[in-house]
Amino acid sequence: MYVSLYSSKKLRQTKKFMLLSGIFLIGGGAYALLREVLWEDHFRAGWAIASVVVLLAGLIWTALATDKILLKDAYFSMTPERIAYRVALLGRERVLPWQQVMKVWITNYFVVFEMENSKPVILRLGSIQQEDVARHVAGSLRLAALEKNIPINGVVGQPQSVVV
């Protein structure tokens, strides 16, 4: 199962916001830098460095919005061997093998995977922009954990046998 967490409409909205924010930061940083270098009587290095940082942040946001720097895809993927997800366009990818998952805690807001030899891994459902997609991801994880006999919220599911 593969689910893209950003629809094309949401991605366009996000890139438009990033472009407008980047232009605003570029304008503000450039104005502050020019003001500090050309119009002030004495040079303040801290102010100049801060204005360069704002200018660079604006350039980075604009480059991300115009695809000069490519954004990663936000997705959720689940196979019988592993779970993989990235919930933010600038976030990191997580890959969890099902064999290492000992327990799963599922709520309306997050999913916590308790792993064999490491600290718990948290999937924040609130980071998924569409509520119905977040519910679908949580439901799919619940069904997969039941199928693999992994305890969910402290309750172990028993395999069902069919009586004929």
Q: Model-level pTM?
A: 0.70
For residue 141, what are its two tokens? 């994880």
Is 139:131 a contact under the CB 8 Å cutoff?
A: no
Q: If you average pLDDT over every residue of the chain, what do you get?
A: 88
Could you tell me which of 48, 28, 49 has the C-alpha nearest to residue 40?
A: 48
123 by Cβ neighbours in 10 Å (0-12 / 13-18 / 19+) ranks as: buried
What residues contact residue 8 under an 8 Å CB cut-off, 6+ apart? none
Average pLDDT over every residue of 121-149: 89
For 51-104, how does the pLDDT look when each residue is reduced to its tens digit (9 = 90+)? 999 999 999 999 999 989 887 888 899 999 999 999 887 888 999 999 999 999
